[in-house]
Structure 1
Amino acid sequence: MGAKRHKPEEIVTKLRQVEVLVGQGMARMDATREVHITEQTYYRWRKQYGWMGTDQRRELKLLQKENERLRKAGPDLMLDKLILAEAAKGKLLSPARRRACIDHVRSQLNVLERRACRVLRQHRSTQRKLPRGRADEERLVAEMIELARQYGRYGYRRIAALLRDAGWQVNDKRVERLWRREGLKVPSRQPKKGRLWLNDGYCVRLRPAYRNRVWSYDFVHCRTDNGKAFRTLNLLDEYSRECLGIRVKRMLSSTDVIDALSDLFILRGVPAYIRFDNGPKFVAEAVRDWIAAVGAKTAYIEPGSPWENGYCESFNARFLYELLDGEIFYNLREAQILIEQWRRHYNTKRPHSALGYRPPKPETLVTMDQRPILH
């Protein structure tokens, strides 16, 4: 049987005991025999541990305990590392993904469910409880997919608004969950835009405080299938976001602008302001004189500042994204019909985010003045 291996705190205790005995007049050799060690062992211990006091012994003991804990935890840490390496790449943001990942890890590494759940931060009750969808979930998903197919440019928020209009009691979160589960498109968040500031630091923007206060118009270019270009004149009420009309022609002159505005003035009255670009084609002398003659005011846009006409520019972006970029027009008449259908849908059914996901002119409020007048 081998010699006993002393712990550091035991060695320090024996050294202190020898010092006490020597201090009482006992010879060092006799003192070492009293504590059951040889003189050579005493000198070796004193060289290694003689400098230690009470505090150092306490710290040494804590370090030994920590080393023992780390030694025992070594295999556990290695196993945890293997579990994390075997797990799916990226963040496991949903319980369903964690559930599938834990099943995969257990099949590959043969580890306990308790350990895999602890490493991947999944509660065991969540792991064992199978999700049960609502009874109406299949019908909801089918209708959601149908709306997504019909309006391929809409995100889940507008689809959720259309579902609520159809009678479903759903919120945006549930629609988003099903939307992502079915792999449908999730539009990226639009970056925020700053205010309009002039050089002197003064912020100027004519705000549409009520309906028919500020109208704006702008032109959009497109082509038919044979390569010939056509233009659209888009007129918008900035307060209600309603598209007042879209005139579609191969060429649009100041006379066409006056004709379109005249029809709208007769049906809706004269607005307080009309906002439009300051280019030579947009502010022809005849258009400016005619607007002044009927009692309206013009709100010009600074050169190179399209963001000053933000409402109409936003409408043009939706017009391009939702219709023009996804349609092939074989002739001008087809373009006129499809554009007018989209305008009616935009006014009566399409949820508008700035209006609390309500349409600018709901179908129940459509009157005779909504007849197509700009073709």
Structure 2
Amino acid sequence: MVDEVVVQEEISVHRACKIVCMSRSMYYYAHKKDDTVVISKLMDLSIRYPTRGFETYYGKIRLEGLVWNRKRVLRVYRNINLKLRVKRKRRLPSRIKEKLIVPGAVNQTWSIDFMSDSLANGRRFRVLNVIDDYNRESLINEAFYSIPGVRVVQKLKELLMFRPKPKRIRTDNGPEFLSKVFTDFCLAYEIELQYIQPGKPAQNAYIERLNRTFREDVLDAYLFGSIVEVNATAYEWQVDYNSNHPHKSLNGLSPWLYAKETLVS
């Protein structure tokens, strides 16, 4: 009404408000809905309880003593599309940072990791590396096109046929090491699983160092035409590494020689 009077009579807003008996504060008032707190609360509940719905969220809100109107909370719930359920992402359990120490004897701690490369025809393959942390002995260096948890367990069982089992195994958080078949294997053999923190490869430094040497000496040094060629070269490298590769941390001795001398002493 004020706007019509201002246009028709060509007068100021002040006079038009007096004519229609309206205060200027009412004329200039603009209602603003601030739902920031409600949105924040609903988003927090949706993260903590992703499989629940509005009724559960509203019930929790009331139990916390927040007396927000149900219609308001439902309106915000619909506006931010929480009714469209987002696929829940599996979260890793928290990993504890543990100091990387040298074991006191062989077969106390093994470290496992993967590497990847490609053949001359472009086909990708992966390499399974296993090392004994005590004397840095390379136990497994074998390539496959695919290495699921089942294959990891199979190769470890083959290794345990002629070698005592370790007390613990250190790995990253790859799906192969989180798989049920791998965790069940460790549980059955009473092997402690030690996971490093995500994104912290330095916590698995022993095998990371072996990976670098293996890549420089094998993967980057040759052009392979087949997996058979990769594994043949990897086996020759493994024997040479364990018998002839000097380690500063082992007083300049190779893994096999260091293990032999410490056993004698």
**Normalized against structure 1, the TM-score is what?**
0.42
Q: Provide the C-alpha distance between the structure 2 equivalents of 1:324 and 1:216, rounded to a whole number of angstroms.
A: 20
State the AA in 1 paired with 2:249.
A
For residues 36-185 of structure 1, the aligned pairs below 5 Å read none
Q: Which consecutive segments of 4 or more residues in structure 1 shift more than 4 A?
A: none
For the pair shown, the structure with the greater C-alpha radius of gyration is: 1
Q: 1:301 aligns with which of 196, 200, 216?
A: 196
Match of 1:345 in 2: 240
Q: Provide the C-alpha distance between the structure 2 equivalents of 1:271 and 1:347, rounded to a whole number of angstroms.
A: 19
Unaligned runs of 5+ in 2: 1-95, 261-265
For residues 1-12 of structure 1, the aligned pairs below 5 Å read none
Shift of 1:206: 5.2
Percent identity between matched residues is 32
For residues 190-229 of structure 1, the aligned pairs below 5 Å read 204-205=99-100, 207-229=102-124
2:167 is equivalent to residue 272 of structure 1: yes
State the AA in 1 paired with 2:132.
D
Structure having the larger proportion of residues in helix: 1
Q: Provide the C-alpha distance between the structure 2 equivalents of 1:217 and 1:245, rounded to a whole number of angstroms.
A: 9
Q: Provide the C-alpha distance between the structure 2 equivalents of 1:203 and 1:212, rounded to a whole number of angstroms.
A: 19
CA offsets 1:123-155 (integer angstroms, 9 cap, x no match): xxxxxxxxxxxxxxxxxxxxxxxxxxxxxxxxx
CA offsets 1:329-358 (integer angstroms, 9 cap, x no match): 111111110111001100011222221221
CA offsets 1:281-306 (integer angstroms, 9 cap, x no match): 33211101111111111011111111
Match of 2:230 in 1: 335
Match of 1:45 in 2: none
Question: Is residue 348–residue 362 contact of structure 1 (8 Å, CA) maintained in 2?
Answer: yes
Match of 1:234 in 2: 129
State the AA in 2 paired with 1:310.
A
Question: Is residue 216–residue 276 contact of structure 1 (8 Å, CA) maintained in 2?
Answer: yes
**Normalized against structure 2, the TM-score is what?**
0.59
Q: 2:217 aligns with which of 322, 338, 346?
A: 322
Question: Is residue 103–residue 133 contact of structure 2 (8 Å, CA) maintained in 1?
Answer: yes
Q: Provide the C-alpha distance between the structure 2 equivalents of 1:228 and 1:203, rounded to a whole number of angstroms.
A: 37
Shift of 1:203: 6.2
Shift of 1:268: 1.1
Unaligned runs of 5+ in 1: 1-197, 366-375
For residues 12-31 of structure 1, the aligned pairs below 5 Å read none
State the AA in 1 paired with 2:193.
T
Match of 1:257 in 2: 152
Match of 1:287 in 2: 182
CA offsets 1:256-301 (integer angstroms, 9 cap, x no match): 1001111122211111000111122332111011111111110111
Q: 2:138 aligns with which of 236, 240, 243?
A: 243
Shift of 1:321: 1.6
Shift of 1:204: 3.1
1:361 is paired with a residue whose SS is helix
State the AA in 2 paired with 1:261.
L
Q: Provide the C-alpha distance between the structure 2 equivalents of 1:352 and 1:203, rounded to a whole number of angstroms.
A: 24
Q: Provide the C-alpha distance between the structure 2 equivalents of 1:355 and 1:362, rounded to a whole number of angstroms.
A: 9
Question: Is residue 214–residue 274 contact of structure 1 (8 Å, CA) maintained in 2?
Answer: yes
Pairs aligned (count): 165
Question: Is residue 275–residue 300 contact of structure 1 (8 Å, CA) maintained in 2?
Answer: yes
Shift of 1:322: 2.0
CA offsets 1:297-336 (integer angstroms, 9 cap, x no match): 1011111111111101111011112221111111111111
| RMSD value, Cα | 2.1
